[in-house]
Amino acid sequence: MSVFLTGFADEAADCIQGQIAAVQALGWNCLEARNVNGKNLHDLDEVVFADVVKALEDAEIRVNALGSNIANWSKSIEDPPDSSLEEVRRAIPRMLRLGIRQVRVMSYAILAQRAADDQMEDERVARLQIVCDLFRAEGLEPLHENCMNYGGLSWQHTLRPIERVPGLRLIFDTANPGLELPHSPRQSSWEFYQHIRPHIAHIHIKDMVWDDEKKKIRYLFPGEGDRDIKRILADLKASDYKGGISIEPHMQVVLHDSSVTAREDARLENFLEYGRRMEQLVREAGLEICS
């Protein structure tokens, strides 16, 4: 088997037609679903969702995974679990309708006001177990991402839910170890990757550097930052990785930062250039790309 290329096409366009056009322009037949017209796939009303289904089917574009909001960085473990469980119940029939097998979940927001060793881990694990059981009962696979949530604090924190929730696997985002998080300084993506590699089922590609002058993250094209993209791709080849490699540029728009905006044409142009560069790096690493 080989790898396939996909991407969060909501960074190219808000509407589903624009997202489809973006991946088609790259010669890909797949996209990773997240937002359509500013709402997550599991939050769209039925009429809009029906339009999304028709557009994808007419274009013969498949959706490899759902980037859900379930238990993400906007949800506190100190609040009731209702909102995330409702998202699970809305996501399941939509995933089944579109033939989406994998779904991104997280492990709730970091509690900045609590100590690093007082993050209510048992409650997080218990809730993740319920979420995972609901998805697996329908033949769907939840994957935990190392984003701005408890599991993103370190590779050790990423492994704890994996060790305690049977069958849970990972999405590895190459840039997220470089984020400044409460209780967690910026980390090496390569070191993070090495420790969690056996559990990775899907890859999100972002690259970045820390801008000392502006005291903020600056996102770059893949291979231009300090997130060891080329080294990670080479190791994926060496370890016979089979799965998706998804682009998430963050150079023109950032889902969780509404202050980052761009013109529609700039978003599309950036997405296409990012995809082309990513595909070239994947080929240079010797990974075979399936059509």
On whether the CB atoms of residues 88 and 75 are closer than 8 A, the answer is: no
Structure confidence by residue, pLDDT tens digits, 106-133: 999 999 999 988 999 999 999 999 999 9
Name the pTM for this structure.
0.94
Q: What is the mean pLDDT of residues 148-159?
A: 95
Domains of the chain plus CATH, in order, are: 4-284 (3.20.20.150)
pLDDT at 27 over 90: yes
| The pLDDT value given to residue 213 | 83
| The pLDDT value given to residue 1 | 54
Angle among Cα 124, 127, 129 to the nearest 5 degrees reads 110
Q: How confident is the model at residue 258 (pLDDT cuts 50, 70, 90)?
A: low
pLDDT at 256 over 60: no
Strand order in the sheet with 200-205: 4-7, 244-247, 200-205, 169-173, 141-145, 102-105, 62-67, 30-33
